[in-house]
Copies of this chain bind each other. A is one copy, B any other.
């Protein structure tokens, strides 16, 4: 019995694309999808790269030891969605060389899957998500607008992203999926397919600043992510998961505690 009485969690791990809790964001959609089944915890950190994600992972993901002591929720599913910032062009501070990006994803997956890892969690399913396309002009325009809003201090921002470079990072993420056997949402392709092409005006509805997704962009991700979950990890389809606390119409009106005692016993017996 605890403040986080649901013993399971879904962890969304990544950068600003994950961090959003806005209407229609990935987090909001996933929390609604798993409503009353499992807690969705948002561990998205705006601006972070796969290199910086490694020490963060060590703080936000339970060690095997902590989990076994009951000091943490069990993460049933983790989405790892990184690379959008790694793909910044040098000398931007966030730039991570593409082979380092590949190695970082391998490292994060091994942290969860390797029996020798302090974070080994054999019951945690992983889904990789690759970076979506970007709209270069819209991104630069958004940076310049921000700079103007803040009084045009410092050097005027220049272009620090390149759509073709981001595409290569998206490809590497898919290669890591193949190399490790971890399923991946090919968000890059999914957005291009939904948009009907890669032209700026085709991509425009899916991005509000050329980089970050609109609700319509997140809808594409959510559709593919939930289809993947339902196909690859059917045990994580919320429709088959027990609803936390009985449906109200099943509560014994006169003796509500009896129903809850049953639930509690079920939970302690591992049935829930």
Pairwise interchain contact B3-A58, C-beta atoms closer than 8 A: no
Task: Return A228 CB to nearest CB of chain B, in Å.
Answer: 21
A248: chain B residues at CB < 8 Å are: 45-48, 52, 85, 94
Pairwise interchain contact A2-B256, C-beta atoms closer than 8 A: no
- Max chain B C-beta neighbours (<10 A), residue from A2, A58, A60, A244: A2
A253: chain B residues at CB < 8 Å are: 93
Q: Please, what's the 1-or-0 string for A241-253, where 1 marks a CB less than 8 Å from any CB in chain B?
A: 0001101110101
A56: chain B residues at CB < 8 Å are: 245, 260
Q: How large is the interface on A (under 10, 10 to 19, 20 to 34, 35 or more residues)?
A: 35 or more
Answer yes or no: A163 CB below 8 A from chain B CBs: no
Q: How far is the CA of A247 from the CA of B16 in the complex (A)?
A: 11
Answer yes or no: A61 CB below 8 A from chain B CBs: yes
Answer yes or no: A67 CB below 8 A from chain B CBs: yes
Task: Return A226 CB to nearest CB of chain B, in Å.
Answer: 14
Contact of A62 among B3, B54, B251, B257 (CB under 8 A): B3
Answer yes or no: A1 CB below 8 A from chain B CBs: yes
| Interface positions of A from 57 to 97, Cβ below 8 Å from B | 58-63, 66-67, 70-75, 85, 93-94
Report, nearest first, the 8 A-B pairs whose CB atoms are least far apart. Answer: A47-B248, A2-B72, A23-B23, A55-B260, A21-B32, A21-B31, A3-B72, A2-B62
